[in-house]
Amino acid sequence: MKLLRQSPDAPGSQMELPLSDALAGDGAASGAAPGGCTPAQPLLPGAQPWPLPQPNARRLQVGERSVHYTLKRSSRRTIGFTVDDRGLSITAPRWVTLADIESAILEKQRWIFNKLGEWRHREARRVLPTVQWREGASLPFLGQAITLQLESPAGILLFDADTRVLHLALPPHADEQQIKDRVQGWLQHQARRLLSQRLDVYAEKLGVRHSAFALTSAATRWGSCTADGKIRLNWRLMHFPMSMIDYVAAHELAHLKEMNHSPRFWDTVASIFPEFRDARAQLRAHPPELLPTF
């Protein structure tokens, strides 16, 4: 088995199964798991199945559970599995039989059900109430809630740090889109200022210089760094406490010395941000798609 990608930043989880492994069994699709592997626990009574099967999905009974999957044929040499918001997708060589594919599903059922469970949990969290763009609405800013107020006593966009109220300087009849645009513009302005400052702080600690900085609205990444020193940070980081922001800044700057995630890379991160493990764990628990929608 070769793991292609399995990270919190990835939009889906993928794995690749060499055919030497996939074809090792007898090719029969049965409910028993090869090698004594037991299926994951079934859903609680009353729980809704997730995801809903795709129109062209196939179905395989695995013990007491059913797994739906879509199948695509290609010229690849291995059977590839992908689990994302659409469920399980499989890409297989054109000459591999359906029985061999289903045997491979049985062999890798633990990984498949674990990943489906992770995505089911993520979808359940996604249905939490979203921001209502109106007077009195709240959203996270630097780890604490702030309240939106349309009118401003000063007649200008103003954030009161003592009361944690963001005065938007909008008329009482402003619609949701106007409010959302004003808040997003303010957050991006704050991000451009604060994230740049934090990069400068940790660049000095590390003794490096980045060549450029820009904001990003990427759906699955908090930051990136190119070999020529260009760093991009997600403006949605402004929802988080400073420790998480500093971790991302230190992480991307460390790539200026180590363009990888080797032990030397993490030693580099620790040299300027020793508490990175706690911040990294918090960040992994808050993927971008679970933040307030804009």
Q: List, edge to edge, every strand of the sheet that includes 13-18.
A: 2-5, 13-18, 78-84, 87-93, 65-74, 58-62
- Among the ranges 21-25, 146-150, 152-156, 277-281, which has the highest mean pLDDT value? 146-150
Say if residues 208 and 256 touch (Cβ distance below 8 Å).
yes
Q: Out of 19-33, 148-162, 221-235, pick the least confident.
A: 19-33
Q: Which of 288, 14, 79, 63 is nearest to 71 (CA)?
A: 79
pTM, to two decimals: 0.59
Q: Where are the alpha helices (DSSP H) in the chain?
A: 19-22, 98-107, 109-126, 176-206, 242-254, 263-272, 276-284
What's the pLDDT at 9? 37
Pair of tokens at residue 172:
């009482």
- Exposed/middle/buried for residue 244 (C-beta within 10 Å: 0-12, 13-18, 19+): buried
What's the pLDDT at 34? 29
Say if residues 42 and 64 touch (Cβ distance below 8 Å).
yes
Say if residues 247 and 198 touch (Cβ distance below 8 Å).
no
Say if residue 182's pLDDT is above 50.
Answer: yes
Q: Mean pLDDT throughout 142-165?
A: 93
Q: How far is CA 53 from CA 56, 57, 70, 87, 127, in A?
A: 8, 6, 9, 8, 19
Q: Mean pLDDT throughout 38-62?
A: 57
138-290: CATH class: alpha beta
Say if residue 266's pLDDT is above 80.
Answer: yes
Q: Out of 67-76, 126-135, 155-164, 193-202, pick the least confident.
A: 126-135
What's the pLDDT at 18? 54
Average pLDDT value for the chain: 81
Q: Mean pLDDT throughout 176-196?
A: 96
Segments making up each domain of the chain, as ranges: 2-126, 138-290
What's the pLDDT at 13? 59
What's the pLDDT at 2? 29
